[in-house]
Structure 1
């Protein structure tokens, strides 16, 4: 055989082997049969509809919201998460996508666990959850994630702190929460925190009724709460006087004017509009009373988390 014939034979042999490998790795099924039965046996078609009719309290426990709230939220995000049917398959309906996302947010279950619960593949769940979360934030941020920007709004919050928690001139309770996560590749100790885990920090401000009025999330867990606050937009806005805080007012029974403040724990640095408790033990009586009152107002953010 000539060298040309040998080369042609080698090429034909390699092409044959490649075809055999493709046939070996060829997907045997398009969708698993137990997943195809989602339309008739899926969780949303069976359990959730039964709970809606027979056990509203259990439905609220399952999704962390009532059927009325679920329908209201679905109406806001339905157009954003709707997918069209194709010739290949029927799209997953918006109500299934939303209930799946709410269950994930309520429990933190893994995608693999939710796959068997909802009969939806893991790869599909990995797309549904971020899309639904983005749709929820987009639909609710103007109404429910709004930072107060007028003096009347701030004064209303201060009145609630005074009437409910007996702490006047308070505009909110501030603290950080570590959200544990798996360290990203090649991140080293960038996200490693003092608790021995990897995390990002959720810095938040809550009013007297356990509602978030400011949220900043994403800073690496290696940074302390005080450091996170110094880098967040709230701290910058306070330094630049763009938050539109009300002017100082007299405390009950006092002649001196005191500024409106946010309350925090000892991890934060004292600032004109940031108040923290007296440090160390064995404080005199008035200081202990002050710490008790401040802790009562500050624990709002702990309970909100």
Structure 2
């Protein structure tokens, strides 16, 4: 992240993560609190000489602030994991209005023209621009084959995106033993999309 991007985000969340100093101790400045995202707690604890429980609290508050501020600033759509928010998204509205402008392209080494499609799970409605698996009741062989390929496409995309996140945010390189993993994940997705 560039210094300019860091300062821009700090300006957006600074008021939400600023704490008051007391007579006993000085508050950790928002700049240091904001730089806590993406690292392991152990690394941050050594780097800033702050206890692990304090680091945990700072990371949670900073991630929550990033999510709160950036959910309106950036729209992140993961069709496979956020179907309950999908129908309210700009992506869904653009799909309905035909505004995505994704013309068909030929398959590699072929003259066959293929349309772009989103791939979702069984919770999504069947649409011309959204593929989903067949229901698991009374499937024939061809339906099972299609379900396999739809599921495989979703797994490839999810692994690729998670791999990119793990390369950019070291917190995903090991087990996260916290109840608020979703808050951390959303904050990192917003940061990744912003950068």
- Classify the TM-score, shorter chain: 0.5 to 0.7
Q: Which structure's relative contact order is higher, taking Cα pairs within 8 Å and 6+ residues apart?
A: 2
Secondary structure at 1:160 match in 2: coil
Give 1 or 2: higher strand fraction. Answer: 1
Cα offset, 1:279, TM superposition: 4.7
Q: Partner residue of 1:77?
A: 13
Cα offset, 1:78, TM superposition: 0.5
Q: Partner residue of 1:198?
A: none
Secondary structure at 1:150 match in 2: helix
What's the TM-score once normalised by structure 2's chain length?
Answer: 0.54
Instruction: Report Cα offsets for 1:166-203 as digits up to 9, x if no partner.
Output: 64262x233xxxxxxxxxxxxxxxxxxxxxxxxxxxxx
Secondary structure at 2:115 match in 1: coil
- Cα RMSD between the aligned structures? 3.8
The answer to whether residue 119 in structure 2 is matched with residue 173 in structure 1 is yes
Which runs of no fewer than 5 residues in structure 1 stay unpaired?
Answer: 1-64, 175-225, 240-258, 272-276, 281-286
Structure possessing the higher radius of gyration over alpha carbons: 1
Instruction: Report Cα offsets for 1:2-41 as digits up to 9, x if no partner.
Output: xxxxxxxxxxxxxxxxxxxxxxxxxxxxxxxxxxxxxxxx
Q: Partner residue of 2:102?
A: 160
Cα offset, 1:98, TM superposition: 1.0
Q: Partner residue of 1:262?
A: 130
Instruction: Report Cα offsets for 1:74-94 as digits up to 9, x if no partner.
Output: 111111001112211111011
The answer to whether residue 161 in structure 2 is matched with residue 304 in structure 1 is yes
Q: Partner residue of 1:59?
A: none
Distance 1:100 1:151, change over 3 A: closer
Counterparts of 1:89 and 1:164, CA distance in 2: 64
Counterparts of 2:106 and 2:58, CA distance in 1: 41
Which runs of no fewer than 5 residues in structure 2 stay unpaired?
Answer: 77-88, 108-112, 137-141, 163-195
Counterparts of 2:32 and 2:66, CA distance in 1: 15
Cα offset, 1:163, TM superposition: 5.6
Secondary structure at 2:21 match in 1: coil
Distance 1:153 1:73, change over 3 A: farther
- Counting matched residue pairs gives 137
Q: Partner residue of 1:180?
A: none
What's the TM-score once normalised by structure 1's chain length?
Answer: 0.37
Q: Partner residue of 1:126?
A: 56
Distance 1:153 1:66, change over 3 A: farther
Distance 1:122 1:299, change over 3 A: closer
Of 87, 100, 115, the residue aligned with 2:36 is: 100
Counterparts of 1:167 and 1:145, CA distance in 2: 27
Counterparts of 1:164 and 1:99, CA distance in 2: 45
1:135-284 aligned at under 5 Å gives the runs 135-145=65-75, 147-148=89-90, 149-151=92-94, 155-157=98-100, 159-160=101-102, 162=104, 167-168=114-115, 170=117, 172-174=118-120, 230=123, 235=124, 238=125, 259-263=127-131, 268-269=133-134, 279-280=144-145
Cα offset, 1:145, TM superposition: 3.1
Check conservation: 2:17, 2:61, Cα contact below 8 A: yes
